[in-house]
Structure 1
Amino acid sequence: MSDALPGTAAASLVPGQAVARPLPSMLLCLSHLRWDFVFQRPQHLLTRAARTYAVVFFEEPIFHPGIAPRLDRRQTPEGVTVAVPLLPEGMPAGAAVAAQRQLLDELLAESAAASLIAWFYTPMALEFAGHLAPAVTVYDCMDELSAFRGAPPRMLTLEQELISRADLVFTGGRSLYEAKRNRHPRVSCFPSSIDTSHFAAARQGADDPADQAGIPHPRIGFFGVIDERMDAGLVGALAAARPDWSFVMIGPVVKIDPADLPRLPNVHWLGGRSYPELPRYLAGWNAGFMPFALNESTKFISPTKTPEFLAAGLPVVSTAITDVVRDWGPKADGGPGLVEIAAEPVAFAAALQRVLEQAGAPWLKQVDRRLAQISWDQTWAEMDGQIEAALRAATRQKSGADTTTMRRAGHV
């Protein structure tokens, strides 16, 4: 496969005669996440963006001993170009930033895109991409990264600079929206959404994957990144209190010591699984749980897995994450929600017992009515509408500036 970026497209209506098509705009995503890590918000949005934009997903560097700086590139089946800077191990921080900037400039120099849209997931990317002059800058703030373990000290300063540069700011949930809405004139809330048909396949049942087949029922499951946001103590206490339940844990372990996770006979740490594999695992669960710790790193999260559990037909119990409580928990009038909320182990176990006994059909009808109102397709369409409007405004502004320059030069 060629490493060349998408450029001019051409069609031939008459043999031997090429007809130029309009160039697509390039959407350059600058991300702190790896494309192949966990399929979540960036992947959902950018695979849809790739239908109309030339999408480049520029990752953080990987360091190897004894190599010269270079850019590793590949294209996903959805048409997203994943670009990974490969840098020599031990490279000083300043030199690493300069190398990333050079690799990015070389990549962009190959493109003949109509315009550039810079899409930031991390403010830290300004260190090597701050010199760019995109037609539109988008900050898709999916997490409060400054609250995460190991966040660089400059994160907050660079975030303020990014917000001041951005044409559009999107947030991944209501709590983040409320935290950012007064910092920019165009902040829009786009909470976690859902590819319903993908997870609804779990409702049809499936043969258990080999590593799950021998796990006894009832099975309580979790899938997602396992890091400082998980309340490992709660998981251990639940497993100890209910040895007759099996707790199935799917996801990569990062930023925490795996030795600190509870190791009980009924807790099964299966590791990461791909997005296509998840429905098959969920089909064999009896309920889901979201044992998030209540700390600075979870204060603003809006877990994508909430509607994914529901689409799979699984009742779910969560700790009191603000966006889960407000969007999916019990109603203000005291009516039941779609997700049970609990805190300490005894109450959490009681809530899980209730959802395991929950009648399926009436609850599922409520779930399906709610999920019918949201989708990643709809979320992307609304975002794209804002981007197109910003591109038109940028074009008008550039055209006006060009006319003023020509007038001053006496050409108009």
Structure 2
Amino acid sequence: PHLPVFLIEEPEVGPAGSSAHPRVIDRDGVTVITPVFPATTRPAAGFGPETNECVSRLLTPFFASRGFLGPSAWPILWYYTPMALGAEPAGLTPALVVADVMDELANFLGAPPDLKRREAALLARANLVFAGGPSLYASRRERHPAVYCFPSGVEPAHFAQAAGGAQLPPELATLPRPVLGFYGVLDERLDLTLIDALAHARPDWTLLLIGPIVKIDPRALPRRANIVYLGIRSYHQLPAYLAGFDVALLPFARNDATRFISPTKTLEYLAGRKPVVSTPIQDVIDLYGDVVSIASTPAGFIAAVEAALQESPAARRQRLLSAQTLLATHNWDAIAARMWSLLTAAWQERQSALRSPRPPSALIPHAPPVAAPVGLMTTD
């Protein structure tokens, strides 16, 4: 089914003197709404107890004018962060509430102090809980009767461009080979000591790190002649940069912030047909241990990278075959189909419980159920 989808991004701060307004972008059937508030007013950007009240006041007339408020609308509310509780438009009566637990956000550097309390409140409201990997699933399954494990997905065709057809960016063309690459947020989850040790031990290797620096002091990043930082690149650019990797890295530290992560980029690397070396992140081991090399020390990491660079044709064929099996079940189309099946079943169960069954078709002509993700999906 094709339902209208509204994605509510985290609020932003606009120019001083401007008026509060929703910035609306329609793209491929998804309406992205970013609440914008003038810089001279409080609260600041991001979801929070004060911000959410302002967001709700801004969103209420927007959705009311489109007929999505009131008892007949019955939208689906889909939360990617519990910090968005209270940002919903006033008068919204959800058919279902989905809690999408993508990360253990409370373990991240600078996490709001009331995040755990807010998550408990969200789980109490939720009809369905989707956990973004085995570790998150194990930590939530006793806290709600309807928790389902949905590890990260991938758009295989997009990242397959890295294996053929993607034009190498000019800034990568002159880098000394081999190139050991990583893309993603550069934050407290990275093992900077490991990265520095690799670069020091093998000055003939280029370590390429692509992504924004967040929540850590840029001065903490290791600086060596063979470490290259490129900054953020868009999703559409990633296959071209991935094409320049000889080995793809998951150099995550072992700390509270990484205990529950299930890195989306693992499948993206595999779709790009790259050998992958990772530190012992539990979800990587559980989900991809047959195709990703795991190493826990700098010496072990160096040995795993060397083995990847010297991979035999037979070993490469087996790795690619195993990767294709994973990609067949962990792509976004398959995940969306399973999620939709669960949503449909939960919707029908709620209809039966209310003893006022309304077939989905009766809702569509006037006020179709809306998949309305409230919040911002976290980036790993």
What's the TM-score once normalised by structure 1's chain length? 0.79
Distance, in Å, in 1 between the alignment partners of 2:214 and 2:274 is 26
Aligned to 1:215: 175
Alpha-carbon deviation of 1:167? 0.4
1:87/1:96 contact within 8 Å kept: no
1:69/1:99 contact within 8 Å kept: no
Alpha-carbon deviation of 1:110? 2.1
Q: Which amino acid in the other structure matches residue 62 of structure 2?
A: L
1:126/1:158 contact within 8 Å kept: yes
2:24 matches 1:69: no
1:136/1:166 contact within 8 Å kept: yes
Aligned to 1:13: none
Q: Which moved more, 1:362-371 or 1:113-122?
A: 362-371
Alpha-carbon deviation of 1:381? 0.5
Q: Which amino acid in the other structure matches residue 376 of structure 1?
A: W
Aligned to 1:35: none
Match of 1:349 among 302, 310, 332: 302
**Offset from partner CA, 1:315-349 (integer Å, 9 cap, x none):** 111011110111112xxxxxxx2111112212111
2:75 matches 1:119: no
Q: Which moved more, 1:252-261 or 1:159-168?
A: 252-261
Aligned to 1:185: 145
What's the TM-score once normalised by structure 2's chain length? 0.86
Alpha-carbon deviation of 1:289? 0.6
Distance, in Å, in 2 between the alignment partners of 1:370 and 1:96 is 41
Q: Which amino acid in the other structure matches residue 120 of structure 1?
A: Y
Alpha-carbon deviation of 1:308? 1.2
Return closer, same or farther for 1:195/1:96 CA change in 2, 3 Å cut-off.
Answer: closer
Map 1:77-156 → 2, pairs under 5 A: 78-89=28-39, 91-93=41-43, 96-113=51-68, 114-129=73-88, 132-156=92-116
2:187/2:213 contact within 8 Å kept: yes
Q: Identity percentage over the alignment?
A: 43
Greater RCO (Cα-Cα under 8 Å, separation 6 or more): 2
Aligned to 1:60: 10
Map 1:39-50 → 2, pairs under 5 A: none
Distance, in Å, in 2 between the alignment partners of 1:61 and 1:369 is 40
2:151/2:330 contact within 8 Å kept: no
Map 1:238-387 → 2, pairs under 5 A: 238-329=198-289, 337-359=290-312, 360-387=316-343
Distance, in Å, in 2 between the alignment partners of 1:372 and 1:389 is 24
2:116 matches 1:162: no
1:292/1:298 contact within 8 Å kept: yes
Alpha-carbon deviation of 1:205? 5.1
Return closer, same or farther for 1:401/1:312 CA change in 2, 3 Å cut-off.
Answer: closer
Q: Structure 2: where are the runs of 5+ without partners?
A: 44-48, 359-380
1:141/1:172 contact within 8 Å kept: yes
Aligned to 1:43: none
Aligned to 2:374: none
Alpha-carbon deviation of 1:394? 3.1
Q: Structure 1: where are the runs of 5+ without partners?
A: 1-50, 330-336, 403-412
Q: Which amino acid in the other structure matches residue 301 of structure 2?
A: F
Q: Which amino acid in the other structure matches residue 273 of structure 2?
A: G
Distance, in Å, in 2 between the alignment partners of 1:400 and 1:219 is 61
Alpha-carbon deviation of 1:90? 5.2
Distance, in Å, in 1 between the alignment partners of 2:341 and 2:248 is 35
RMSD between superposed Cα atoms in Å: 1.9
3-state SS of 2:207 partner: strand
2:251/2:279 contact within 8 Å kept: yes
3-state SS of 2:5 partner: strand
**Offset from partner CA, 1:166-205 (integer Å, 9 cap, x none):** 0000000000000000101000001012221221222125
Aligned length: 344
Distance, in Å, in 2 between the alignment partners of 1:355 and 1:137 is 44
Q: Which amino acid in the other structure matches residue 326 of structure 1?
A: D
3-state SS of 1:127 partner: coil
